[in-house]
Amino acid sequence: MLGSLFLLWAGLLLLYFLLKTRRPKNFPPGPQPFPIFGNLLQLNLKNPIKDFEKLSKCYGKVYSIYFGGRPAVLLHGLQAVKEALMTRGVEFAGRPQGLLINHATENKGVIIVNYGPTWKEQRRFALTTLRNFGLGKLSMEERILEETSHLSSYIEKSAGQSLDPKMLFHNAFSNVICAILFGSRYKYEDQSFQSLMRMISENTKINNGRWGMIYDTIPLIRSLPLPFRKMIENRKKVKAFLLTKVAEHKETRVPGQPRDILDCYLDEIEKRGNDGSSFDDGFMVALMMDLFFAGTDTSSTTLRVGLLQLMLHPDVQARCHQEIDAVLGEREQVCYEDRHRMPYVQAVIHEVQRYGSVVPLSVFHATTQDTQVLGYSIPKGTTIIPNLSSVLYEEGKWKFPHEFNPSNFLKEEGEFVKPEAFVPFSLGPRMCLGEGLARMGLFLFLVMLLRRFQFHWPQDGGEPDLTPKFGITQEPKPYRLGVKLRGQQSG
Ligand code: HEM
Ligand SMILES: *[C@@H]1O[C@H](CO)[C@@H](O)[C@H](O)[C@H]1NC(C)=O
């Protein structure tokens, strides 16, 4: 009796979940989800690339999978990505809510804030401020150039040997962000800065790893002392560090004469007064963390992909050397204007971004209202995953979709050209707001390094392994960078 009651109950429960995870009407197709887990058990979570490849082959340009009870729609190829993120931009400009990352960030900042007035305000402020730092003394360009010279001097110590560029590049780009945010940089050996960096990357790992997935799928366990607690602890420490910077700035600032973004933000808080907008100390610190988080890993990983490709393609590197030498002549220092006379270097940087596809699935979006894409209906609040890699490698859009080849960005006569399918910064209202900074940084760092050094695959480097590591930012396997000083061929 008790047994059959239990069976009935279990049966009803199962039915409930089966019904719950049934696809809405005219929803994009996909594999049948299991109760509770959705399609998670059908994926190899450590490296799901192969599984996703199969799914998109099977279901086409728009398909859906279930993370637990939550459906997500994947967009594959330029047509689908463009229709959603650009043509219907606002309808696709939300962010998924109720996830670990939302809790850890208290829903502040820009990146994960849902579409609405707060996001608009914070984004507009960040964009204009970054743009205004393009001009004047202590401009973005000067701050980047200062960092490139520190980096060069540091690398020079390894001339004739090899080094692991990972932490080094990470520190260099973090310093650029620090300089723009609050006007200081840190020595590459600085211990307390290193530990901050570690906390930030630890958080990325927790969020993107198994625990983030479990937190996001199974709400019941959220109050347990599991590793995602660590994420919140880490964030508190980074916040405490930033708050010391805020306190310093409040003491030393001259209103109306900002030295950096932090000063600009303090000016903005004053200007706004009590107008009901979101500008306050909490949002300021959250924005600073977002810029850190979004700006360092992405840029430094791209540079790491770049030097790897240049080591493996000495002919491409030699052409860069030639072009840089011809344009700079006797000049020691490059400037950002020089890019117009360096179409080949520009093509190389773009090809590195294309081939590296450093943010392969963008940041997940969500629909802000009921909408559709390629004829399928998608309800409000559905998670949207734009597959940027699928556009960056799309057949028919590129001369050489599957190989590293700067000709993808060159016309016959050697002129630089940017195809429409170049979308590493995504598209539409949510598009990366640091694109300008990222491009300036990549150009100045790469040219300064190539001006001074020649890079080669070192003898102690083992066999090159080009399979990327899967993640929100996709990075190459660790490698060693062989360094030779240029212009001293005889020595
Ligand atoms: C090579 C370097 C970079 C790449 C490939 C990159 C790529 C991206 C991508 C794909 C997105 C998601 C866009 C979307 O949701 O559709 C994004 C968002 C964002 N990026 Fe970047 N990014 C880079 C560098 C930077 C830098 C240097 C900063 C600023 C310091 C930055 C700040 C942001 C912010 C704040 C967002 C969120 C925008 C929003 O939600 O409204 N990024 N980036
Ligand atoms: C995205 O597209 C790339 C290239 O087509 C493919 O290899 C990858 O598996 C896709 N990822 C997802 C999540 O669909």
Evaluate whether residue 10 is within a structural domain.
yes
Question: Which residue matches tokens 């279990």?
Answer: 10
Phi-psi domain of 138 (left: phi exceeds 0; alpha: psi -120 through 50; beta: other): left
232 CB within 6 A, ligand 1: no
Query: Cα(425) to centroid of ligand 1, in Å?
Result: 6
Cα(28)–Cα(79) distance, integer angstroms: 15
Evaluate whether residue 459 is within a structural domain.
yes
CA distances from 220 to 68, 146, 166 (A): 13, 50, 38
pLDDT at residue 488 in the model: 52
Cα(194)–Cα(464) distance, integer angstroms: 28
Q: Which amino acid is at 69?
A: G
Q: Which ligand is nearest to the CA of 359?
A: 1
Query: Cα(433) to centroid of ligand 1, in Å?
Result: 6
Q: How many separate domains does the chain show?
A: 1
pLDDT at residue 339 in the model: 96
Cα(295)–Cα(197) distance, integer angstroms: 13
Phi-psi domain of 487 (left: phi exceeds 0; alpha: psi -120 through 50; beta: other): left
Name beta bridge partners: 454.
484
Tokens found for residue 241 = 């560090």
The pTM score is: 0.91
Nearest CA, atom 11, ligand 2: 52
Residue to substitute in 130, 140, 298 for testing ligand 1 pocket (most ligand atoms within 8 angstroms of CB): 298
- Per DSSP, the three-state class of 274 is coil
176 CB within 6 A, ligand 1: no
Nearest CA, atom 12, ligand 2: 52
Evaluate whether residue 305 is within a structural domain.
yes
Which positions ≥6 away from 325 have C-beta within 8 Å? 451
Cα(342)–Cα(430) distance, integer angstroms: 30
Query: Cα(460) to centroid of ligand 1, in Å?
Result: 35
Q: What is the dihedral of CA 270, 272, 278, 283, to 10 degrees?
A: -20
Nearest CA, atom 14, ligand 2: 52
Query: Cα(429) to centroid of ligand 2, in Å?
Result: 23
DSSP letter, residue 164: -
Evaluate whether residue 491 is within a structural domain.
no
Q: Which amino acid is at 55?
A: L
Tokens found for residue 293 = 């988080």
Rg (CA), the chain: 24
pLDDT at residue 114 in the model: 93
Q: Which atom of ligand 1 is nearest to the CA of 424?
A: 5
Question: Which residue matches tokens 């559905």?
Answer: 382
What are the tens digits of pLDDT across the range 359-375?
998 989 999 999 999 99
pLDDT at residue 95 in the model: 93
Q: Which atom of ligand 1 is nearest to the CA of 109?
A: 35
CA distances from 384 to 93, 101, 216 (A): 10, 16, 15
Evaluate whether residue 490 is within a structural domain.
no
Residues with CB under 6 A from ligand 2: 49, 52-53, 56, 74, 361, 387, 389-390, 393
Tell me the CATH number at 13.
1.10.630.10
Cα(80)–Cα(343) distance, integer angstroms: 30
pLDDT at residue 365 in the model: 94
Q: Which atom of ligand 2 is nearest to the CA of 394?
A: 5
Return contacts of 153-161, CB within 8 angstroms, 24+ apart. 154/188, 155/449, 155/452, 155/453, 155/483, 156/452, 156/453, 156/485, 158/483, 159/453, 159/483, 159/484, 159/485, 160/483, 160/484, 160/485, 161/458, 161/482, 161/483
The segments of the chain whose pLDDT lies below 50 read 489-491
DSSP letter, residue 241: H
123 CB within 6 A, ligand 1: yes
472 CB within 6 A, ligand 1: no
Nearest CA, atom 9, ligand 2: 53
Range of the domain at 34: 2-485
What element of type H or E holds 481? strand 481-485
pLDDT at residue 489 in the model: 45
pLDDT at residue 320 in the model: 98
Residue to substitute in 66, 359, 362, 389 for testing ligand 2 pocket (most ligand atoms within 8 angstroms of CB): 389
pLDDT at residue 50 in the model: 77
Cα(265)–Cα(267) distance, integer angstroms: 5
